[in-house]
Structure 1
Amino acid sequence: GSSGSSGGCQPSRVQAQGPGLKEAFTNKPNVFTVVTRGAGIGGLGITVEGPSESKINCRDNKDGSCSAEYIPFAPGDYDVNITYGGAHIPGSPFRVPVKDVVDPS
């Protein structure tokens, strides 16, 4: 055990939340927020693995949080991997079921 570590990188204190971590839809942005405030200095990494490649956009909110969105192109189960300083944060990888959007018309 290490004690009295101040400053370093603490991935266990990073929180991720948002609808895009619970369910998602194809061909539209699925949004979630990653809060790194209080977790020290580290590099945030987000990857989405699943039946298709997903385009990921991440925006720094300048308040210790980032807004991320991804657009999957095929339905199925996806894993959203969120790492901080190279280590998975609590809950990562997030298993997200992706569905096609049903057009009611």
Structure 2
Amino acid sequence: MAEARSIKVEGTGLRNGVAEGPNKFVIYASEKHDVSKIQIGFDGPGQPECRLNTKKDKSIDVTYTSPVAGEYKIHVRYDDKPIPGSPFKCKIIGDVKGAVDKVKASGDTKEGKVNVNNTILVDGREVGILGGLSGSTEGPSKPDFQFKQNDDGTVAAVYKPTVAGNYKITLKFQHYNIPGSPFTVSVK
């Protein structure tokens, strides 16, 4: 018999998010679980709208939109029993543009190396932005970004250009550029 304690949950939307924006996390159930017994609830200053999308592998993409900023608790239960870690404390912030303006970037923002992982460290801990970033590059090659959540709450934006030259690196939270973005990076 499947139990609540064997269900795992991951995603930045469990710890932080933005009001009026999509916030996401994923529930990982096994083949033994009846996904219809999974329940999600919120305690906080507003009642978020929540959408669930169950995939073939029984993982569930959860997207919720909170009408107001504030401190929330997200309850995830299976068969009326809390899963490990539930309830999750989540900070929803309001003024997205104002919050993004307080994000700091450091690392390889001016110079990079070809065929090497280059890292821009993004620090949004002051305003509760711990993930949800997107990135793009313009230049001689089109390296993809990988975003790694660090233990200290910062995010490493890692890219590996394969051709030397000048690149325009854009990092965003939702549709707002973080301060300094786009970065002009000389890759040698």
TM-score band by shorter chain is 0.7 to 0.9
Report the 3-state secondary structure (helix = DSSP H, G, I; strand = E; otherwise coil) of the residue aligned with 1:38: helix
Alpha-carbon distance in structure 2 between the residues aligned to 1:49 and 1:39 = 29
SS in 1 for 2:126: coil
Work out which of the two has the higher radius of gyration on C-alpha atoms and give 1 or 2. 2
| Letter in structure 1 aligned against 2:110 | K
Aligned to 2:157: 68
Flag as ranges the 4+ runs of structure 1 deviating above 4 A.
none
Q: Secondary structure at the match of 1:72?
A: coil
Which of residues 24, 30, 34 is equivalent to 2:112? 24
Per the alignment, residue 37 of structure 1 pairs with 125
Distance in 2 (alpha carbons) for counterparts of 1:62 and 1:36: 13
* TM-score, scaled to structure 2: 0.46
One-letter code of the match for 2:170? Answer: N
| Larger deviation, residues 61-70 vs 37-46 | 37-46
Contact 2:109 2:183 in 1 (8 A): yes
Question: Which deviations, in whole Å up to 9, do the C-alpha atoms of 1:13-49 show, x marking residues without a partner?
Answer: 111100x212011111112200111234573112222
Separation of aligned partners in 2, 1:62 and 1:85: 22
2:17 is aligned to: none
Residue 181 of structure 2, aligned match among 75, 92, 101: 92
- Work out the number of aligned pairs and report it: 94
Q: Aligned equivalents of 2:153 and 2:102: distance in 1? A: 12
Matched, 1:57 2:146: yes
Flag structure 1 segments of 5+ consecutive residues without an equivalent.
100-105
Contact 2:120 2:157 in 1 (8 A): yes
Could you tell me the TM-score, scaled by structure 1's length? 0.78
Cα distance in 2, alignment partners of residues 16 and 90 from structure 1:
7
Contact 2:168 2:185 in 1 (8 A): yes
